[in-house]
Structure 1
Amino acid sequence: MGPLSALDLVEGPVPTVAVLLAIPAGVFLLARRWRRGALVPLLAALLAGGTAWAVGQWTVASGLSTHPLPLPVLAWIAAAACALILAGAGLRGGRWPRRVLAPVAATLVLAAASLQVNAYYGFYRTLGDVTGASTADIAPLTNASHEGESASSPPLALARWAPPPDMPEHGRVKSAHIRGMVSGFTARRAYIYLPPAHSVPRHPVLPVLVLISGQPGSPSDWLTAGRLQPVLDAFAAAHRGLAPITVVVDANGTATANTMCMDSRIARADTYLATDVPAWIAANLDATTDHERWAIGGFSFGGTCAIQMATLHPGTYSNALDFSGEAEPALGPSRAATIQESFAGDTAAFDARTPLHQLKKRHYHHSWAYFAAGAEDSEFTACMHRVATAATGAGMTVQAESIPAVGHSWRVASAALGPALDWLSRRLALAP
């Protein structure tokens, strides 16, 4: 697609221009002289509102979302539905110019609504993300990531690292399949970021960051919506080419599944993340074996999963990055239904695997946790403060930040990852 592939759909002029075009299009659809006066536009608005409400209910009932859709999203869904209804109603009895222009006007409103909903979530950042071009050419990890390292040149200790003049400016992203050898879990393709320092013939032993995407979603969301490589490249540029070896893993198996990162009747996702993934990293990547320099993080579902894994397995993941996570894992708004489906109604078994339960029960004086949520996301901001307070009470070293002018959006993750790593840099031995 060439230059169009990089067209910014979130922060560039495209969403604004689409709204500027949609406003006169909407006025055109409303301005017709209806035979029954304002009755048709009124009925269209009511029907559109009902459609938006039904869509919101369906996303929760179907498992696509565990929480109701935010009001700005519902408003844009209603606007698009209203435009389509008015355009359909205008096809009957109107003059031919209006019959031709009405579908065009409705398409402009629909396009603006789609772009605004996407901009709210920060999901498809570019046109290449929509088409899949952004991640289509990522090559598999070969020779167990010992690329650039000679057999006679073992990795350096971080304390002895000095960047050579020919070190590349950018890290590399590779892909791999991490099999569930113990868990039996079938995961989608994982992605591995290797920082610039890893590309030199004798690279340093680096810390580990495991990342998990939201639900619904896929590991590639961290590369596109989360802007993983630009963020980590910027961090590496400020830290002598150093950054964590970052492994973006799949915790759900499909785009719409929800394992809650637990071992339950649904899947053995906990065993996959706590046993299979660390074993694969140890066998395939030249990473540190000091788990105080391992971190796990994620956005939304992934943020919940991150603090959950850090509280259940602090010996594996000593540090957590929880971006817009929930107070506890869930399959939907009904806690009883969640427990019934995952643990056949065994509340004690479910509770024992939740972060808040663990934070009441255990002490975590050797663990660190960084929390972030959008300032306009009141529900998940409340979750952030609740879990952060519990983590502080359990002895964790905690930092909690609010990202201004953002709701429950991937922009939280892309904005918070750099500051979170800065805060963790000494802990990960990436800064003096």
Structure 2
Amino acid sequence: MAALLAAYLLVRSPWPLGLVRTVVAGLVGAAAALFACWLFGDVWNVFGIDLTATTRMWVALACAGIGLAVANLWGSRWYRVVIACVSIPVFLLAGAAGVNMDFGAFRNVSEVVQSTPYRSMPTARLHGTAGVMPQGLLASWRADAPLPAHGKIGTVHIPATASHFRARDAVIYLPPAALVPNAPKLPVIVAFPGQPGTPAYMFTSGRMGAILDAYAAQHHGLAPIVVAPDQLGEPDRNPMCVDSPIGNSATYLTVDVPNWIRSHLNVANTPDAWAIIGYSQGGTCSIQLGGGHPELFRTIVDISGELVPTIGADTVARGFGGSTAAYDAAKPLSILAAHTPYHDTTAIFAAGAEDTKYSGFARAVFGAATKAGMTTKLIISPGTAHDWHTVLYVFHRTLPDLASRLLGSKA
């Protein structure tokens, strides 16, 4: 529709001055868009990532279309003005859809307008006593009743009892094996999206539920339980997974959330059965919390994480009370050095091949983790950037092996 409208606004322009005016307006719109991408993305780094050529192209095309429409608002008949006005939201929507395709964030409009498309899951049905997971679970466990074809995804409220952190509802995934009588104790994956974001993104954009359902279908319904708590508080807030004036995010994620999981879900209670996974800001959290708490997590997946936690120029002032020492201590490399040597900890670092900045971060933290004694792996996703295409590439290649590792954990 956008292409047809653009063609109409061009072809039907009065010749020759009207056509020249319309073409110039479109070129000015495209040039202004590219300048804005350069200014906000490259100079001011507002988004914290490098904008890809594809994203810049779609923004330029949308603004070029708007330029065409604006040029047709003057000196045109009334119906042409109406068509020009209708064209503007169509051009904007087409550009947004193109950018979304580049980032791989949303599959449909519902996911755009709904921050959490999942229903509340009654916790009374989830109670279980945490303890030791049986050894050889994959080989020995079989359900006493027919298994559901798919796992269940829903929202739960995890109280901030110790931290008083203002967290949004978490989203959890229960595999088929967790939904039958006499369910076994299962391993846990704690997962974080990036910022801005909501916990649901790990299942809508990241497809964790679908990937683990496919694994469970081949392993007697067995797969890890996934808990995606809120590490942000609000989409536009970044507490940096530390305790600070912005919020006691670290205490919430390492005390309140694990306590709730143990008291409400039938899970294993050994660190080798717990993993922590994150993307972008969530990836930074995964290495901060996983590296800082080996007593909780023995498996870490950091996808496109940052080299240091940051909220911009006032990071130290707002997040660390002006203490440079406290800020330095919260950096992933500092955390890894402070807890060296690690024993029986596996860490996977990943980034998109087109994501020059974050692939550099991944290599740096990968090297430090290897030096600290972790069993490490570096994954570079071909042809992707700082986007959910990278996440999906990594999930498809790591979650099945990760599930087998966690289900095979020893007591």
Check whether TM > 0.5. yes
Kindly indicate whether the alpha-carbon contact (under 8 Å) linking 2:62 and 2:91 is maintained by their aligned counterparts in 1. yes
User: 2:69 matched to 1:92?
Assistant: no
User: 2:122 matched to 1:141?
Assistant: yes
Kindly indicate whether the alpha-carbon contact (under 8 Å) linking 1:34 and 1:40 is maintained by their aligned counterparts in 2. no
State the TM-score, normalized to the length of structure 1: 0.84
RMSD: 2.9
- Which of these residues, 83, 88, 92, is aligned with residue 110 of structure 1? 92
Query: Could you say which residue in structure 2 is the equivalent of 1:286?
Result: 266
Query: Could you say which residue in structure 2 is the equivalent of 1:256?
Result: 236
- Which of these residues, 351, 376, 379, is aligned with residue 357 of structure 2? 379
Kindly indicate whether the alpha-carbon contact (under 8 Å) linking 2:261 and 2:267 is maintained by their aligned counterparts in 1. yes
- Which of these residues, 326, 339, 352, is aligned with residue 306 of structure 2? 326
Query: Could you say which residue in structure 2 is the equivalent of 1:365?
Result: 343
For 2:292, the aligned partner's letter is L
Query: Could you say which residue in structure 2 is the equivalent of 1:181?
Result: 161
How far apart, in 2, do the equivalents of 1:155 and 1:345 lie? 43
- Which of these residues, 392, 396, 400, is aligned with residue 378 of structure 2? 400
Cα offset for 1:136? 4.0
Kindly indicate whether the alpha-carbon contact (under 8 Å) linking 1:45 and 1:82 is maintained by their aligned counterparts in 2. yes
SS of match in other structure, 1:427: helix
How far apart, in 2, do the equivalents of 1:84 and 1:243 lie? 49
Query: Could you say which residue in structure 1 is the equivalent of 2:48?
Result: 66
SS of match in other structure, 2:377: strand
User: 2:327 matched to 1:350?
Assistant: yes
How far apart, in 2, do the equivalents of 1:171 and 1:246 lie? 11
Kindly indicate whether the alpha-carbon contact (under 8 Å) linking 1:155 and 1:203 is maintained by their aligned counterparts in 2. no
Cα offset for 1:272? 0.8
Query: Could you say which residue in structure 2 is the equivalent of 1:411?
Result: 389
Shift in CA distance, 90/36, structure 1 to aligned 2, threshold 3 Å:
closer
Kindly indicate whether the alpha-carbon contact (under 8 Å) linking 2:232 and 2:249 is maintained by their aligned counterparts in 1. yes
- Which of these residues, 114, 126, 132, is aligned with residue 108 of structure 2? 126
User: 2:222 matched to 1:246?
Assistant: no
User: 2:367 matched to 1:389?
Assistant: yes
How far apart, in 1, do the equivalents of 2:113 and 2:245 lie? 35
How far apart, in 1, do the equivalents of 2:43 and 2:184 lie? 48
For 1:349, the aligned partner's letter is A
Cα offset for 1:177? 0.7
Cα offset for 1:291? 1.0
State the TM-score, normalized to the length of structure 2: 0.88
SS of match in other structure, 1:385: helix
Kindly indicate whether the alpha-carbon contact (under 8 Å) linking 1:64 and 1:256 is maintained by their aligned counterparts in 2. no
SS of match in other structure, 1:302: helix
Deviations 1:351-410 (A, max 9, x none): 111111122342223211122222222222222112112111111111221223322112
SS of match in other structure, 1:401: strand
SS of match in other structure, 1:286: coil
Which segment is superposed worse, 202-211 or 376-385? 376-385
Query: Could you say which residue in structure 2 is the equivalent of 1:427?
Result: 405
Query: Could you say which residue in structure 1 is the equivalent of 2:318?
Result: 341
Deviations 1:271-296 (A, max 9, x none): 11111111111111110011111001
For 1:291, the aligned partner's letter is P
How far apart, in 1, do the equivalents of 2:304 and 2:44 lie? 21
Shift in CA distance, 214/305, structure 1 to aligned 2, threshold 3 Å:
same
Query: Could you say which residue in structure 2 is the equivalent of 1:101?
Result: 83
Deviations 1:51-88 (A, max 9, x none): 55447756899997333543432332232122212211
Shift in CA distance, 359/274, structure 1 to aligned 2, threshold 3 Å:
same
Kindly indicate whether the alpha-carbon contact (under 8 Å) linking 2:118 and 2:153 is maintained by their aligned counterparts in 1. no
Cα offset for 1:128? 2.7
Number of residue pairs aligned between Structure 1 and Structure 2: 403
SS of match in other structure, 1:342: helix
For 1:427, the aligned partner's letter is R
Shift in CA distance, 202/318, structure 1 to aligned 2, threshold 3 Å:
same
Summarize the alignment of residues 21-40 of structure 1 with structure 2, pairs less than 5 Å apart: 21-31=1-11, 32=13, 33=15, 35=17, 38=20
SS of match in other structure, 2:380: strand
Deviations 1:314-370 (A, max 9, x none): 1112211112212221113x4xx3222212332221111111112234222321112
- Which of these residues, 175, 193, 196, is aligned with residue 195 of structure 1? 175
Percent identical pairs in the alignment equals: 36
Query: Where does the alignment leave 5 or more consecutive residues of structure 1 unmatched?
Result: 1-20
Shift in CA distance, 140/61, structure 1 to aligned 2, threshold 3 Å:
farther
User: 2:189 matched to 1:209?
Assistant: yes
How far apart, in 1, do the equivalents of 2:370 and 2:286 lie? 16
How far apart, in 1, do the equivalents of 2:225 and 2:76 lie? 62
Query: Where does the alignment leave 5 or more consecutive residues of structure 2 unmatched?
Result: none
SS of match in other structure, 2:394: helix
How far apart, in 2, do the equivalents of 1:54 and 1:343 lie? 32
Shift in CA distance, 161/62, structure 1 to aligned 2, threshold 3 Å:
farther
